[in-house]
Homo-oligomer: A and B are copies of this chain.
Amino acid sequence: MIEHKRIRCGGLRSKVMSAEQAASFITSGSTVGMSGFTGSGYPKAVPLALAEHIEKEHAVGRPFRVRVWTGASTGPELDGALAKADGIEFRLPYNSDPVVREKINSGAMEYFDMHLSQVAPMAWQGFLGPLDTAVIEVTGIRPDGALIPSSSVGNNKTWLDQARHVILEVNSWQNAALEGMHDIYYGTALPPNRVPIPLVRPDDRIGDPSFRCDSDKIVAIVETYAPDRNLPFAPSDGTARAIAGHLLEFFHHEVAKGRLPASLLPLQSGVGNIANAVLTGLLGSSFENMTAYTEVIQDGMLDLLTAGKLRMASATAFSLSPEAAAKLNSEMTSFSDKMILRPQEISNHPELVRRLGCIAMNGLIEADIYGSVNSTHIMGSRIQNGIGGSGDFARNASISIFMTPSTAKGGKISAIVPQASHVDHITQDVQVLVTEQGLADLRGLSPKQRAVTIIENCAHPDYRPALSDYFRRARDHSYGQQSPSLPGEALSWHQRFIDSGSMLS
């Protein structure tokens, strides 16, 4: 590290300092744009030093909080540490850290949950206020001062462009072979100066391999050697495999009907147990020559790439288990022509999702009998993570699929409810709903037809009679018959869970 090998631009070596020194550039009340997307490529030293500084300030009675913007979720050294220090006043656009979640749900932190494709444009338009400091992890600095991105791109281009000053973390844990894997598009603009984004296939390269950055804005460079937060992977269970089975059968059916090409269309997939079971299902399927245009490359996609079933994957970040991360790190060069990491405004861009006709596969917390989906708020009020990119993909996909086990909390919560307690995806954007019970193809159906299909195909047998009963009574007594409902009862299942710990009566 003393040789500053990763800092190939000599003029910048004088700015190397400790994380503590670097953190001192961040003042209370300021807004900080950090790198990081699903535990990849977030700064690992400066936020920790900042949290320590904040705790000291609080200990002597001085208030100190900042506004934190990121790509999406980060790691415990960033969100966790700063939240524990009670150092975050306002957070956007996505979070999955348990400490931050607790602060939000206790009312101690304000959280602005955003469509991930819209963060950069909204920042450019000035709606989010000025950005004081960018803290960005990079893999290295090139001789010309250009920055080699890390294991996520996220909003880094925008933070680097917009911040008054920049702090870099050069993380030599990141594989140097990442250089060249990124595609940073510099053609975006504000209206009325926007032009078509010239991407027509997931494998198109339309930008630079590195970030441009005004060297005069760089106030500190911190060298680190620290791993991304790679969460151990939960193996898929029978429920996940059943969901995957229904979905695979559906894909085969759509290909047979001529509504999907034999190699499908670019896949977008969330993360987690069920998403991975679907990808594992595709690994054993007859589908070949597939592509992905998605947010993150997770274990299942790496397996599909390795097997040659997936021709290439475009994303904005990796989201890997420790084993998969080790595999990728040791074989990085063999993946370099099969992966492209892009800014999240491009990986999630509605224009591109619609053009490519992505098959969107996302999870949910609950869906109602008409297929409105709640992705974010447990019992309508308690944030889980955030909407993330699900809205970018679901509305513009050629097929928008939502997947969930039919129950949660050991059967005490039904994923299918009379009315969603919060809505993130409206019925028009939810075309296929899958649980381990079955698949509901909702395309072309009216709300009442959707309700019958969802209750019959997706609801758990323990809740099906109560859902059918609600729907029947709603048909008898509703104010209108487009989407029959009983407002006095529609959210009673949620109130029952809050009161008694179970939706079952």
Chain A interface residues toward B at CB < 8 A = 90, 104-107, 110-115, 118, 121-122, 125-129, 190-192, 194-198, 200-201, 257-259, 261, 265-266, 350-351, 354-357, 372, 376-383, 387, 391, 395-396, 398, 419-426, 428, 431, 443-449, 474-475, 478-488, 490-492, 494-495, 498
Contact of A372 among B200, B423, B475 (CB under 8 A): B423
Instruction: Give the complex CA separation of A495 and B492 in angstroms.
Output: 13
Contacts of A190 in B (CB 8 A): 357, 398
Contacts of A419 in B (CB 8 A): 380, 491
Q: Is the CB of B383 within 8 A of A482?
A: yes
Q: Is the CB of A350 within 8 A of B354?
A: yes
Contact of A105 among B122, B198, B357, B480 (CB under 8 A): B480
Contacts of A474 in B (CB 8 A): 381
Q: Is the CB of A259 within 8 A of B483?
A: no
Given A391-B395, A424-B426, A479-B379 in contact, is the A355-B196 Cβ separation under 8 Å?
A: yes
CB distance from A124 to the nearest CB of B (A): 10
Name the residue of chain B whose CB is nearest to the CB of A475.
Answer: B107
Name the residue of chain B whose CB is nearest to the CB of A202.
Answer: B192
CB distance from A376 to the nearest CB of B (A): 8
**How many subunits of this chain does the assembly comprise?**
2
Contact of A443 among B122, B395, B485 (CB under 8 A): B122
Q: Is the CB of A495 within 8 A of B487?
A: yes
Q: Is the CB of B350 within 8 A of A381?
A: no
Contacts of A194 in B (CB 8 A): 200, 354-357
Contacts of A191 in B (CB 8 A): 265, 355-357, 398
CB distance from A500 to the nearest CB of B (A): 12
Instruction: Give the complex CA separation of A104 and B488 in angstroms.
Output: 22
Main secondary structure of the interface of A (DSSP, over half): loop
Q: Is the CB of B126 within 8 A of A259?
A: yes
Q: Is the CB of B398 within 8 A of A125?
A: yes
Instruction: Give the complex CA separation of A166 and B126 in angstroms.
Output: 51
Given A125-B398, A127-B444 in contact, is the A104-B490 Cβ separation under 8 Å?
A: no
Question: Which of A125, A191, A478, A484 has the most CB atoms of chain B within a 10 A radius of its CB?
Answer: A191
Which 9 A-B pairs have CB atoms at the shortest separation, nearest pair first? A382-B480, A191-B357, A196-B196, A423-B423, A383-B482, A107-B481, A488-B495, A110-B446, A487-B491
Interface pairs (6), CB distance under 8 Å: A111-B446, A113-B428, A192-B266, A194-B354, A194-B355, A387-B428
CB distance from A104 to the nearest CB of B (A): 5
Contact of A127 among B420, B443, B446, B447 (CB under 8 A): B443
Instruction: Give the complex CA separation of A498 and B354 in angstroms.
Output: 41
